[in-house]
Structure 1
Amino acid sequence: MKMLLLTIGLSLVAALLAQDPLDLVSEQLDLTGTWYVKAVVDTKEMPVEKRPDKVSPLMVTALEGGDLVITFTIMKKGQCHEKNILLEKTEEPGKYRALHCKKVVQVEELPVKDHYVFYIEDQRRGRPFCLGKLIGRNLDVNFEALKEFKKFTQSKGFLQENIFIPAQMGKCTGSGGSPVLQEHQLSAQVLEQDKLQVKVWVPHCER
């Protein structure tokens, strides 16, 4: 009986070792589905006029082999344009490369359920540029997630005054149509109650 249990145990261990560890991490992260950008931070304070006045939900699709595709919508000349970015997995768990290896994207799981951070390293005019995005499964205000995001930004050397909350853009009304802004907004009063010194960027609906 003991030999049988030992054999079964060794078989399970062998099966686990045979699996790609990156695939295991991908399953644990459970990134597929729709995500909402709840907060953004960058290494150099972005001028208000250059900030994204609204952000669309992110649709994450897992490909065979562990790569991910991020689908989102951007505004260009008053119209919606869908974009797809391929994230190619690396040997380091949770780390991906995008745009022909020009960008490095690290996915960090927060201790708050259904909340992650996309930490992006890039180059702007030959100089390093970093960006952090707090994403969540829904638009509900989660103070614990905001606190954890604040801790993360501090650990990466971001200035707290560089954190801002973008408005949420709904689905476009047809191909190339105008976006519908989500009514859900994080108000300055709500953020002040949590004593998080972050800026709220409230856009105009018309551009």
Structure 2
Amino acid sequence: MAAGNGPWMALALLTLLAGLQTPALSEVSVQPNFKQDQFLGRWFTKGLASNATWFQEKKAKLSMCKSVVTAAEDGALNLTVTYFRNTQCHVWNLLLEPTGTPGHYRYYKPKWGSNHDVLVVETDYDRYAMFITQSTNVPGKELFMATLYTRSQNPVAERELNEKFRSFAHSQGFTDEAIVFLHKADKCIDDQ
């Protein structure tokens, strides 16, 4: 849920896009039998892949964010992202509206005039989730971001999850240069 990638999504919306070949969102499938109630709770952003030009410049400086997903009215999700930047903790909130397909959500950011589709592609609910976000803010230009969420900053079988995400990102058209695994933040996101 890029949404779990909130601060980085905001940066991406302000940049030009790289020419990465990524599949159309219509070619991406959501988690079969997605169970929203099991998806709720705390997640950490462990991996990212993006076709945004800013990503290559900033990826070495990125660190984990903590996202808390709670149920909202009418099947929507509240997403609260906490991250550390410029010596301060920041919080970013958004509402993910259901699209009618379980695991597929949409939100709109009036500040940038941008539409965002978020698809939960794979999750075991207990350890990890992988999703893809497509954002459109300029006609003809689209941002794609793949995200790996984990329930812990130090997930069990971390190497296996990283390889699973790398394969997922490759299947979405991202190269190794477009993939980053994030280090733990020193502040703002505890495991509590």
With normalisation by structure 2, the TM-score equals 0.66
Structure 2: tracts of 5 or more residues without a match: 1-32
Q: Could you say what secondary structure the match of 2:48 adopts?
A: strand
Runs of 4+ in 1 over 6 A off after TM superposition: none
Q: Distance in 2 between matches of 1:169 and 1:137?
A: 15
When residues 129 and 52 of structure 1 are mapped into structure 2, their CA distance, relative to the original with a 3 A threshold, is farther
Counterpart residue type for residue 73 of structure 2:
E
Report the equivalent of 1:48: 57
Name the structure, 1 or 2, with higher relative contact order (CA <8 Å, separation 6+): 2
> Match for 1:61 among 70, 82, 86?
70
**Aligned pair partner of 1:136 in 135, 146, 150:** 150
Q: Is contact 1:112–1:145 with CA below 8 Å preserved after alignment?
A: no
Max Rg structure: 1
Q: The residue matched to 1:161 in structure 2 has which SS?
A: helix
Correspondence for 1:148 among 143, 146, 164: 164
Instruction: Quickly say closer, same or farther: Cα 1:96–1:139, change in 2 above 3 A.
Output: same
Given the alignment of the two structures, is residue 109 of structure 1 paired with residue 126 of structure 2, yes or no? no
TM-score normalised over the length of structure 1: 0.62
Look up the SS of the partner of 1:65 in the other structure: helix
Retained in 1: the 8 A contact 2:66–2:83?
no
| Alignment correspondent of 1:169 | 185
Quote the RMSD (CA, aligned, Å): 2.7
Q: Secondary structure at the match of 2:34?
A: helix
Which of these residues, 13, 35, 44, is aligned with residue 43 of structure 2? 35
1:82 is matched by which residue type in structure 2? V
Aligned match of 2:79: 70
Seq. identity, %? 25
